[in-house]
Amino acid sequence: MRIDVLTLFPGVMEPFFAASIIARAQAAGVVSIHCTNIRASATDRHGSVDDRPFGGGPGMVMMCGPLFDAVERVEREDPRPATRIMLTPQGERFTQEIAGELAGLKRLLLICGHYEGFDERIREGLKPREISIGDYVLSGGEAAAMVVVDAVVRLLPGALGGEQSIEHESFSDGRLEYPHYTRPRDFRGLKVPEVLLSGDHDRIEKWRQSESDRRTRQRRPDLPGKPENA
Ligand code: 6GU
């Protein structure tokens, strides 16, 4: 997969993509991530990418020209058609299901805005899929784009190593994950549940299922997950 990110702050994002699982996935050839500064497509001598809103009002608006140019330039760098995604609080809510959908694509182009918003003709002209990561306002799309890239890349075959770790994790089946423990067995009087030390894999599996169900009911009754083997 190839992922392009258009942003005014490539320097904020690059270190994130150069660490941990995303770095490993890139080194393994599973994904390549390219950040492009929208400002490189500005046409005036000040490098303007935003301007005052017609009709007045507060804040600045992302201009059409530099963004259209940046999209067209970056898309020409690779013949595979890119799925355009705009990060905006007005988009559909990002979920694990959408992450899975995006992970099946060959090329993503993420567009990060700043300021008060995008000129509406960016939506009309570029027809991006609009994604929000939740009901709160960020000062720009960068943090949201990092969330989306992280959630997608770790689903790509070969990105994680032990692929079975994905099957059991929270949200993969609409439920929360069961609790985990590691050494020591007794930490300041806090004990590891006996069942996990029993070596009885049937019992352990049943315990994990029931803890997962209990957590989901208690914390996230809105999730669709149904108790398995019930
Ligand atoms: Cl994608 N962008 C911004 N600016 N704020 C957000 C968001 C995105 N998702 C939630 N809040």
CB 115 within 8 A of CB 173: no
Report which of residues 111 and 160 the model is more confident about. 111
What percentage of residues in the chain have a pLDDT greater than 70? Answer: 95
Which tens digit of pLDDT belongs to each residue from 73-94? 999 999 999 999 999 999 999 9
pLDDT exceeds 80 at position 113: yes
**Residue of the CA atom closest to atom 5 of ligand 1:** 138
pLDDT-derived band at 173 (thresholds 50, 70, 90) equals confident
List the structure tokens of 103.
Answer: 């992970």
Give me ligand 1 centre to Cα 90, in Å: 8
DSSP code, position 192: P
Beta strands in the chain (DSSP E): 2-7, 32-37, 50-51, 61-62, 83-93, 107-112, 117-118, 129-132, 186-187, 190-191
pLDDT exceeds 60 at position 183: yes
Q: Ligand 1 pocket test: which of 133, 142, 146, 149 has the largest number of ligand atoms within 8 Å of its C-beta?
A: 133
* Nearest in space to 108 (alpha carbons), one of 33, 53, 180: 33
144 lines ligand 1 (CB under 6 A): yes
DSSP code, position 220: -
89 lines ligand 1 (CB under 6 A): yes
Give me ligand 1 centre to Cα 85, in Å: 12
List the structure tokens of 86.
Answer: 């705009």
pTM of the full structure: 0.93
Which tens digit of pLDDT belongs to each residue from 37-85? 999 999 999 999 999 999 999 999 999 999 999 999 999 999 999 999 9
140 lines ligand 1 (CB under 6 A): yes
Q: Give strand pairing partners of 87.
A: 112, 131
pLDDT exceeds 80 at position 186: yes
Atom of ligand 1 nearest to the CA of 136: 11
The rounded distance, in Å, linking the Cα atoms of 133 and 143 is: 9
Burial class (CB in 10 A: 0-12, 13-18, 19+), 126: middle
Give me ligand 1 centre to Cα 147, in Å: 11
136 lines ligand 1 (CB under 6 A): yes
List the structure tokens of 223.
Answer: 């999730």
Give me ligand 1 centre to Cα 58, in Å: 19
54 lines ligand 1 (CB under 6 A): no
